[in-house]
Structure 1
Amino acid sequence: MDVFEALATRRSIRGFRPDPIPRAILEKILGAASRAPSGSNIQPWRVRVTTGAEKAALSLALRAAHDAGAKVERDYHYYPRIWREPYLARRRACGLGLYKLAGVARGDSAAAHEQRARNFDFFGAPVGLFFSIDRDMEQGSWLDTGMFLQSIMLAARAEGLDTCAQAAFCDHHDVVRAHLGIPDDQALVCGMSIGIADHDVPANALVTDREPLENFVTFGPEA
């Protein structure tokens, strides 16, 4: 798979097969992704890998916190505090498309709650990754970490695997910290499920739109 195919086929998968992923493959993916660029090569990212019984126990604790409505303040603001166009329409289109495929009717808060809860089961994936960064790092290092995340997702595609980056874990970063030993001086960036996509899961049919180049690219007069 070349990089263009990896980019074209990378999607947020919300249903995985339970097939285990060999540690050697995970190390290959993470090692390749470590070549991601970072300012002055400081490589600010940290990764915690969880599988098996540890992941199962974490899932139970996360689900309990989710059911109890026990959100904590996130380490950072992911979305804008005030939504406006065109971003609001794009967000709504993504959410409506996902919920339609997942069979969640508009206004069905119980079904929406259950769909969101699937985040905390890693959508059935055998491997969970958690990414953190030292709190004294600045915005540039967060950009670096984002490039590292994308590198993981593309390397996973090269190995025939799929991923879902999940900021939902940040609502319960206290639970994640307690189970995985992530210290308080690190901010939790997000989690990620990784495994083999289960194409029988309806939500995996979601393919989100992308804006045409003319909507976000400006070429100079000599380009």
Structure 2
Amino acid sequence: MNVRDAIKTRTSIRAFLDKPVSEEQLRELLDQARWAPSGGNLQPWRVHVVMGAGRDRLVETVKQAIAENPFANEAELAIYPEKLSEPWRTRRFEVGEEMYALLGIPREDKPARIQHLMRNYEFFGAPVGLFFSVGRQFDKGQWAHLGMFMQTLALCATDMGFATCMQEAWAARAKTVSAFLGLKDHEQLYCGMALGYADPSAKVNELRSSRAGVDDFTTFITE
């Protein structure tokens, strides 16, 4: 698979097969992704992998935290601005409605929508979860480095036949997850990523969000 094919093939998968991924495969994947670009070669990212019994313990820990306080918001980061302006508000709304349409969940069925949202905290059934953190000493530049690393990892995973879903939803339970992972005070959790094999029979995996055209986000200065 070439890079162009990997970019176009990669998409957020929200239903995975019950098929294991080995530690050896994960080490190979991370060994490829570590060559992602990083300004000053700082490589500020930290990766925390949960799989097997460790993954299951994390899922149960977070489920218990949600049951005890379902409305708690442990997020340190605002995943989206409080008031999105256009065209960003419409983009977010449309992709959500497209997903729920594939799932057959109407807008008025709030319980079903919440139930699907809670699937985030089970990695959508994926056997592996990855979490990403950076040191609190770092600023926006190093957060950009983390993003480049995550994209590189997702593309390498696609090349290896895996499916992924980058999950900012975990930020809402950052305190619980950070404690489970043993993060130090100087480390800040960003998000998670589900990794495994896509379920080809799941309707939700047919979702393919649109992208703005080149002229919508590019300015060419030629003189």
Within a 5 Å distance, the mapping from 1:142-161 to structure 2 comes to 142-161=143-162
Within a 5 Å distance, the mapping from 1:1-80 to structure 2 comes to 1-67=1-67, 68-80=69-81
What is the total number of aligned residue pairs between the two structures? 222
> What is the letter of the counterpart of residue 56 of structure 1?
D
**Cα deviations by residue, 1:181-209 (Å, 9 ceiling, x for unpaired):** 12232111100000110011111010111
Aligned 8 A contact 1:125 1:194 in 2 = yes
Report runs of 4+ in structure 1 exceeding 2 Å deviation: 63-68, 70-73
Question: Percent same amino acid at aligned positions?
Answer: 40
Q: Which residue of 2 aligns with 1:182?
A: 183
Determine helix, strand or coil for the equivalent of 1:46.
Answer: strand
Determine helix, strand or coil for the equivalent of 2:185.
Answer: coil
Q: Give yes or no for the alignment of 1:202 onto 2:203.
A: yes
Determine helix, strand or coil for the equivalent of 2:27.
Answer: helix
Q: Give yes or no for the alignment of 1:96 onto 2:110.
A: no
Determine helix, strand or coil for the equivalent of 2:111.
Answer: helix
Q: Which runs of 5+ in 2 are unaligned?
A: none
Q: Which runs of 5+ in 1 are unaligned?
A: none
What is the rounded CA distance, in whole Å, between the counterparts of 1:102 and 1:65 in structure 2?
27
Query: Could you tell me the TM-score, scaled by structure 1's length?
Result: 0.95
> What is the letter of the counterpart of residue 5 of structure 1?
D
> What is the letter of the counterpart of residue 49 of structure 1?
V
**Cα deviations by residue, 1:8-64 (Å, 9 ceiling, x for unpaired):** 000000001121112122111111111111111010000000011111121122223
Determine helix, strand or coil for the equivalent of 1:29.
Answer: helix
CA RMSD of aligned residues (A): 1.3
What is the rounded CA distance, in whole Å, between the counterparts of 1:207 and 1:137 in structure 2?
33
| Structure 1 residue 70: Cα displacement | 4.1
Q: Which residue of 2 aligns with 1:167?
A: 168
Determine helix, strand or coil for the equivalent of 2:50.
Answer: strand
Determine helix, strand or coil for the equivalent of 1:104.
Answer: coil
What is the rounded CA distance, in whole Å, between the counterparts of 2:88 and 2:172 in structure 1?
22
> What is the letter of the counterpart of residue 54 of structure 1?
G
